[in-house]
């Protein structure tokens, strides 16, 4: 088990935070291709980790291994020390929720209905009560409706509650997908390119939303190509290159590491620095890096074509129950 990370705060003694999610020696092979090779990391409670790396580095494959969508060739994934089942629905039940690179909403259902789908993971119903619409069933339905309303407010989508998901602006679909994942009451939230295709304003709103999610006590791992976004959001950053963790550290450590510059960023450090520091974000203290939403040097999946529920990879078609999108809003 990896050492829990520590946080120093302002001048006080460092406080150890327990590890909540841990990947140990995860290797994933597809025939002759090794997509992940012996990947280990621990996510601490209350932590936001960024996962970056070039296209094809294995980032989504790692998420798929963490959520039971793929069974790793070797290695283990554990939540609070207990191995997670290799079954996405059960992983969701145990408290790990995710969003997808390609949005997977139910396009012909309303925003509210999409969130309710996520909520059903937590609705334990006596079958007879459900059948007869007894008091237990009605109480449970009322609780789900109330929770859904709060979550839509939390992600800033109350006005779209009755709108079909397919009609929502792209950035709002991503927010709705986050609300649906939150409806499962996760302890850990995995976000796969949450700002892909967003403009600068939406990207900033998403950063604030992720901070708000962390403040609810949910630990977060975020995949993004937008390194400026990652460096101003995350406590720690993992750089995956060709299926291996090349570098792991604070945003400052990672930004300054010549291996990262060479393997991933592809430009001299001073150029990266200039790019990262070009715009200052009010309220972001650590490294002054601001993300203006420019999607940097990776090829993005802008999802423009993908308003539906499909990720076309054949291997990735198993239903993920927690499936579906977020602006800053009220308390969940
Ligand atoms: N089911 C699969 N079968 C075969 N190869 C796969 C499968 N899933 C992923 N791969 C391969 O594994 C490697 C890692 O892919 P993955 O999608 O995890 O990378 P990524 O870092 O998420 O890339 P991107 O940034 O482009 O989304 C790639 O070479 C990809 O083609």
Tell me the pLDDT tens digit for each residue of 3-29: 555 443 333 445 678 999 999 999 999
Ligand 1 geometric centre to CA of 57 (Å): 7
Is residue 75, in this structure, part of any structural domain at all?
Answer: yes
Total domain count for the chain? Answer: 1
- Give me the long-range contacts of 1-7 (CB less than 8 A, separation at least 24): 1/42, 1/81, 2/40, 2/41, 2/42, 3/42, 4/42, 4/44, 5/42, 5/44, 5/47, 5/235, 5/236, 7/235
Structure confidence at residue 324 as a pLDDT band (50, 70, 90): very low
Q: Which residues, 6 or more positions from 98, have their beta carbon under 8 angstroms from its beta carbon?
A: 63, 67, 181, 189, 190, 191, 192, 320, 322
Structure confidence at residue 119 as a pLDDT band (50, 70, 90): confident
Q: Give the pLDDT confidence of 304-316 residue by residue, as tens digits.
A: 333 333 333 323 3
Closest C-alpha among 319, 231, 238, 215 to residue 272 = 231
- Provide mean pLDDT across the span 283-295: 35
Question: Whose C-alpha lies nearest to ligand 1, atom 16?
Answer: 58
Q: What CA–CA distance (Å, rounded) separates 192 from 183?
A: 17
Instruction: Indicate the top mutation candidate among 23, 27, 30, 263 to test ligand 1's pocket, ranked by most ligand atoms within 8 A of CB.
Output: 30
- Dihedral angle of Cα 159, 160, 162, 164, to the nearest 10 degrees: 170
* Domain containing residue 123: CATH number: 3.40.50.300
Is residue 322, in this structure, part of any structural domain at all?
Answer: no
E strands present in 45-133: 48-52, 74-79, 82-83, 96-98
Q: What angle do CA 285, 289, 292 make, to 5 degrees?
A: 120
Question: Whose C-alpha lies nearest to ligand 1, atom 31?
Answer: 56
Is residue 26, in this structure, part of any structural domain at all?
Answer: yes
Ligand 1 geometric centre to CA of 230 (Å): 21
Task: Give the domain extent around 193.
Answer: 17-316
Instruction: Indicate the top mutation candidate among 27, 51, 53, 61 to test ligand 1's pocket, ranked by most ligand atoms within 8 A of CB.
Output: 61
Tell whether ligand 1 has an atom less than 6 A from the beta carbon of residue 58. Answer: yes
- Provide mean pLDDT across the span 58-86: 96
Question: Whose C-alpha lies nearest to ligand 1, atom 8?
Answer: 61
Instruction: Indicate the top mutation candidate among 39, 53, 58 to test ligand 1's pocket, ranked by most ligand atoms within 8 A of CB.
Output: 58
What pLDDT, on a 0 to 100 scale, did the predictor assign at position 122?
Answer: 65
Q: Is the pLDDT of residue 250 over 80?
A: yes
**CB-CB contact of 58 with 23 (8 Å):** no
Q: Which residues, 6 or more positions from 55, have their beta carbon under 8 angstroms from its beta carbon?
A: 298, 299
Q: Which residues, 6 or more positions from 286, have their beta carbon under 8 angstroms from its beta carbon?
A: 232, 251, 252
Tell whether ligand 1 has an atom less than 6 A from the beta carbon of residue 35. Answer: yes
Sign, Cα dihedral of 323, 216, 222, 232: positive
β pairing state of 48-52 and 33-44: unpaired
Is residue 150, in this structure, part of any structural domain at all?
Answer: yes
Q: Which residues, 6 or more positions from 2, have their beta carbon under 8 angstroms from its beta carbon?
A: 19, 22, 40, 41, 42
Ligand 1 geometric centre to CA of 135 (Å): 48
Q: Give the pLDDT confidence of 179-225 residue by residue, as tens digits.
A: 999 999 999 999 999 999 899 999 999 999 999 999 999 999 999 98
Tell whether ligand 1 has an atom less than 6 A from the beta carbon of residue 168. Answer: no
Is residue 47, in this structure, part of any structural domain at all?
Answer: yes
Helix, coil or strand: residue 96: strand
Is residue 144, in this structure, part of any structural domain at all?
Answer: yes
Determine the number of helices (DSSP H) and then strands (DSSP E) in the chain.
11, 12
Crossing angle for the helix pair 111-119 and 170-182, to the nearest 10 degrees: 30
Element (H, E) at 231: helix 227-233
Is residue 329, in this structure, part of any structural domain at all?
Answer: no
User: Looking at ligand 1, which atom is closest to the CA of residue 63?
Assistant: 18
Higher pLDDT, 59 or 130: 59
- Provide mean pLDDT across the span 77-93: 94
Is residue 2, in this structure, part of any structural domain at all?
Answer: no
Instruction: Indicate the top mutation candidate among 57, 243, 302 to test ligand 1's pocket, ranked by most ligand atoms within 8 A of CB.
Output: 57
What ipTM goes with this model?
0.97
**CA dist 186 → 10, 91, 179, 290 (Å):** 29, 10, 11, 29
Higher pLDDT, 257 or 293: 257
**CB-CB contact of 28 with 65 (8 Å):** yes
What pLDDT, on a 0 to 100 scale, did the predictor assign at position 124?
Answer: 63
**CA dist 200 → 48, 234, 291, 296 (Å):** 21, 18, 7, 12
Beta partners for residue 48, in sequence order: 220
What pLDDT, on a 0 to 100 scale, did the predictor assign at position 176?
Answer: 96
pLDDT more than 70, % of the chain:
69
């Amino acid at each position: 088990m990896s050492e829990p990370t520590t946080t120093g705060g302002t001048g006080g003694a460092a406080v150890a935070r327990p590890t909540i999610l841990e990947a140990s020696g995860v290797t994933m092979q597809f025939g002759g291709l090794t997509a992940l090779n012996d990947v280990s990391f621990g996510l601490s409670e209350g932590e936001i980790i960024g996962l970056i790396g070039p296209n094809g580095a294995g980032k989504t494959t790692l998420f798929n291994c963490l959520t039971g969508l793929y069974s790793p060739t070797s290695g283990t994934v554990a939540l609070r020390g207990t191995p997670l089942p290799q079954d996405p629905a059960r992983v969701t039940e145990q408290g790990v929720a995710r969003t997808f690179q390609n949005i997977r909403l139910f396009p012909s259902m309303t925003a509210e209905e999409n969130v309710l789908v996520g909520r059903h993971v937590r609705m334990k119903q006596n079958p007879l009560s459900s059948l007869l619409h007894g008091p237990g069933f009605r109480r449970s339905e009322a609780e789900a409706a109330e929770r859904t309303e709060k979550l839509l407010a939390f992600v800033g989508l109350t006005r779209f509650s009755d709108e079909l998901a397919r009609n929502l602006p792209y950035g709002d679909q991503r927010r709705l997908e986050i609300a649906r994942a939150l409806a499962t009451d996760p302890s850990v939230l995995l976000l796969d390119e949450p700002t892909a295709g967003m403009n600068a304003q939406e990207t900033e709103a998403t950063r604030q939303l992720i901070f708000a999610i962390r403040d609810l006590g949910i630990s977060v791992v975020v995949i993004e190509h937008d390194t400026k976004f990652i460096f101003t959001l995350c406590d720690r950053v993992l750089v995956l290159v060709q299926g291996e963790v090349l570098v792991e550290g604070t945003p400052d450590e990672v930004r300054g590491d010549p291996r990262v510059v060479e393997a991933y960023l592809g430009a001299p450090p001073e150029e990266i620095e200039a790019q990262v520091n070009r715009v200052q974000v009010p309220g972001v203290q650590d490294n002054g890096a601001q993300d203006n939403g420019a999607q940097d040097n990776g090829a993005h999946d802008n999802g423009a074509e993908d308003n539906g529920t499909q990720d076309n990879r054949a291997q990735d078609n198993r239903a993920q129950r927690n499936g579906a999108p977020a602006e800053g809003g009220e308390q969940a």
